[in-house]
Structures are given as C-alpha cells and as structure tokens.
Amino acid sequence: MYTKKQNQPYYTNRHSCFLLQYHLVLVTKYRHPVLVNEIKGLVYDTIREIFDEKGLVILEMNGEADHIHILFEADPFTAPGMLVNIVKTKTSRRVRAKYGDTPFMKQYYWKPLFWSDSYFVTTVSENSLQTVEAYIRNQ
C-alpha cells in the first residue's frame, strides 16, 4: 500500500516516491451505444470496485454511450495494459451475465463481445492534469 507524501502530491511506499497518472479510454465493440442506464451503472461500479481492490485512485471517470474515460493514479507496480485486460474482462463478464440475453444487448451483440480489442492510454503531467480532468468531467 502507498500513502500521500505530506504536503506533496506524491505517493510513497517503502522504497519509492512516485506520482503516476494515466488517462485511459475504453471503447465498446463496434462503438455500439450500450453504456446507458443500468449497464453503464454496472460497468462504472465494477471499475470502481477493481480500482479499490488494487488501491488505485480514480480522479475522474465519465464517458458517452460508446466509450469511457478514466483518469487515475497508480503505483509503479501497476502495468496499464494488464489493468485494461482486467477491467475489460470483469466488466464484460458481469454485463453479459446480467444483460446478455436482453433484447437491448442482443440487437448489438450476437457473440459474447462487449469491448473493442483496442484502447488508449497516456500519462498525464502536472501541467495537463486539470485540462484532462475538465475534459472527462464534461463528456
């Protein structure tokens, strides 16, 4: 586990001091507008749960019906690509289990799909943090 360094934006653990902030964008398969209502709630809740379990801090999370933006802080041991795999797998399984047989989902997905294979991730600097936060908040 890590903690904020006193009077600094940085985190510390036993052997390091760090501030790693990422902007992640996940897109639904074929950009179908399925992130709405209960499905959106389930996806967002699942993401929050994953990040809480891993001790990651979500600074901002928002999106539209076909994609989601997540601005978060991580420790040096979290590989963004592996985190994306976990988020996509867990959210997809939960959505498919709960809503996969609904007419709404069946109109878009006839195979067990939910997310696009691709994703976008970038680091965020202290200079761009507020701009990215505002962008995500106003989605």
Contact call for residues 71 and 59 (beta carbons, < 8 A): yes
Catalytic residue among 10, 108, 109, 135: 135
Contact call for residues 66 and 28 (beta carbons, < 8 A): yes
135 is catalytic: yes
Listed in sequence order, the residues at least 6 apart from 42 whose beta carbon sits closer than 8 Å to its beta carbon are 91, 94, 95, 98, 99
Active site residues per annotation: 135
